[in-house]
Structure 1
Amino acid sequence: MFSLGGSETGKKILAAAAPNLTPVVLELGGKNPAVVLPDANQQLVAEKIARGRSGNSGQICLDVDYAMVPANQLTDYIHLIVEQLEQAFPTYSDNPEYSAIINDAAYKRITGMLVEAQQRGTQLLTINPNHDAVPDATKRLIPLTLAINSDPDLQIAKNEIFGPILSIFTYETLDEAIAFINTHEKSLAMYVFGKNKAQLNRVIRHTSSGGVDINELALHAGSHEMGFGGVGYSGMGRYKGGKVGFETFSNPKSVYKQGILAKYTTRFMVPIHNQRNEKRFKKMLGL
């Protein structure tokens, strides 16, 4: 059985499969982090994260859920990301390029996150250059929004957003950023931007996720050597990619045909009743 969806739905599918011992491959989601190192190309990072997060209104399992940026670069990244989002979507109403939220339940969940964050004093930046009448419950349109350093106990910080909201958190040291990531469940993907190899490797070694991209988004999902999948809360099993995908959805069956040793293996492998057979058996095994 194969399922693609959210982690909570994955739990139900796994529970339903258990009584029948049905093998399951789960490709789930999670809070995919983007760790931006101090030496990263700011313009390129902002473009990739902003454009990637706004695709399908953030309803893509491999989207960046939250970005971690150096504290002294926060203002720069906010400015650059807002600039990118305004260029990508100057308007929402009647814009065929901007996606609606998939259903009413998802719309209420995402807007509920925003209301909670606003009530708790989170800095929210709504990208709405044309001043459209959004959020729009009828059309299920939610404007692209940045949430800056929200409290860790808020839904927007704890749960996968899967919508047009990008959380941005700041860090002073790389160890602080790694520790923050490890407070969350393991994600389907993690993205690291920067040039310093030692720092890149440190992030990769000290965190766990289904896959990692360095200075890019989501391209690891096309790997034909390892396949694609999550780990822990973000899924189990790997699929896609030639041999990996074939083996995932196949059941290898071993077949052994005995040759000239047939009479000896039966004779020596049945219960041993005397020392002579015991010696022969040990000799055959090299004991």
Structure 2
Amino acid sequence: IFTGSTATGRKVMEAASKNLVPVTLELGGKSPVFMGESADFAKAGERVALGKMMNAGQICLAPDYLYVPESKQDEAIHGVWQGTANMYPTLLDNEDYASVVTDRHFDRLQDMVADARDKGAEVIEVNPGNEDFSSTNSRKMPLTILKNVNEDMKAMQEEIFGPVLPVKTYGHIDEAIGYVNEHDRPLGLYYFGQESEEREKVLARTISGGVTVNDVIFHVSMEDLPFGGVGSSGMGSYHGVEGFREFSHARSVYTQPKIDVAKLGGFKPPYGPATEKAIKTMMK
């Protein structure tokens, strides 16, 4: 079993193939959040903020980007902003908020934000305490919301794995479904809204490793649900009985009775009427 990036997962699978070692891959990807017109944007924003700020976004199931109705974009962004501020009034000395794991990864995230800004995105830092992050080497980074993103930006091309949140807008939910289907299958997919017909449309017309409705990440916490990816987000699943089956080999053992089953079934030469009867039965 390997947990990590898709690029490394390909190498693991290639290496395992030389010895025909079975592989289970849990790879992540760009997990989208669909917000419907009927969503409670304040509650949804707080839940997205919780999932995105947990371990500073360095979780394989962290929501990667938001897809919101055009008319609700500011309300959705405010919900995330306020939710973050409620949970993290300060960041630098807050033991509840993690640092980015390495200098290399921190620089990658900073470059991603700079790339988005240079290509026309509006950058919104969620910094409730108005703290100065430039004078510290703690690698703490405020949640950075990217508005007006496009496909040329690194933030929309790579798994973010950090506290950066692009926001896309749609005129009709079908646009969001089409966009997700044009890209690699995500490990997680999240839908917020109260319209059951719209929810079922999103779930029926998309493919992902797993789904949480009206929250993010939580499907991984249910031990009775299989957890795993599909396509570029991985293969195989575990948790509960699925985990036992995934990492076990079910060896079949058959004991033949004393009677001559092959002869009775017409499978033993010389072939004759019993064989013809067996073939006719199979051809029905």
User: Structure 1 length as normaliser, TM-score?
Assistant: 0.91
Is the 1:222–1:228 Cα contact (8 Å) retained in structure 2? Answer: no
Alignment of 1:260 with 2:258, yes or no, is yes
Task: Give SS of 1:161's match.
Answer: coil
Q: Which residue of structure 2 aligns with residue 91 of structure 1?
A: 90
CA shift, 1:286, in A, is 6.0
Question: Deviations for 1:59-94, whole angstroms, at most 9, x for unmatched residues?
Answer: 111111111111111111222221221222222222
- Correspondence list, 1:93-108, <5 A: 93-108=92-107
Q: Which residue of structure 2 aligns with residue 199 of structure 1?
A: 198
Q: Which residue of structure 1 aligns with residue 219 of structure 2?
A: 220
* Cα gap change, 1:264 to 1:8, in 2 (>3 Å): closer
Alignment of 1:171 with 2:170, yes or no, is yes
Is the 2:45–2:78 Cα contact (8 Å) retained in structure 1? Answer: no
Task: Give SS of 2:68's match.
Answer: strand
CA shift, 1:136, in A, is 6.5
Is the 1:136–1:142 Cα contact (8 Å) retained in structure 2? Answer: no
Question: Deviations for 1:171-203, whole angstroms, at most 9, x for unmatched residues?
Answer: 111111111222221101111111111111111
Distance 1:210 1:258 in 2: 42
CA shift, 1:269, in A, is 4.0
Question: Deviations for 1:6-65, whole angstroms, at most 9, x for unmatched residues?
Answer: 211111111111111110011110111110110111221111111221111011111111
Q: Which residue of structure 2 aligns with residue 245 of structure 1?
A: 243
* Cα gap change, 1:96 to 1:252, in 2 (>3 Å): same
CA shift, 1:283, in A, is 4.1
Is the 1:188–1:209 Cα contact (8 Å) retained in structure 2? Answer: yes
Alignment of 1:282 with 2:276, yes or no, is yes
**Identity rate, percent:** 35
CA RMSD in angstroms comes to 2.1
Distance 2:197 2:265 in 1: 61
* Cα gap change, 1:279 to 1:193, in 2 (>3 Å): same
* Cα gap change, 1:218 to 1:8, in 2 (>3 Å): same
Distance 1:102 1:26 in 2: 22
Across the two proteins, how many residue pairs are aligned to each other?
Answer: 281
Is the 1:158–1:184 Cα contact (8 Å) retained in structure 2? Answer: no
Q: Which residue of structure 2 aligns with residue 127 of structure 1?
A: 126
Is the 1:189–1:218 Cα contact (8 Å) retained in structure 2? Answer: yes
Q: Which residue of structure 1 aligns with residue 5 of structure 2?
A: 6
Unaligned stretches of 5+ in structure 1? none
Q: Which residue of structure 2 aligns with residue 150 of structure 1?
A: 149
Task: Give SS of 1:68's match.
Answer: strand
Question: Deviations for 1:96-153, whole angstroms, at most 9, x for unmatched residues?
Answer: 1111111122112111101111111210101123332325673222221101121112
- Counterpart amino acid of 1:81? V
Distance 1:25 1:245 in 2: 10
Is the 1:107–1:137 Cα contact (8 Å) retained in structure 2? Answer: no
Distance 1:255 1:209 in 2: 36
Distance 1:85 1:219 in 2: 18
Task: Give SS of 1:20's match.
Answer: coil
Task: Give SS of 1:130's match.
Answer: coil
Unaligned stretches of 5+ in structure 2? none
- Runs of 4+, deviation exceeding 6 Å: none
Is the 1:57–1:164 Cα contact (8 Å) retained in structure 2? Answer: yes
Question: Deviations for 1:201-220, whole angstroms, at most 9, x for unmatched residues?
Answer: 11111111011111122222
Distance 1:143 1:160 in 2: 18
Distance 1:97 1:162 in 2: 18
Is the 2:42–2:83 Cα contact (8 Å) retained in structure 1? Answer: no
Is the 1:122–1:148 Cα contact (8 Å) retained in structure 2? Answer: yes
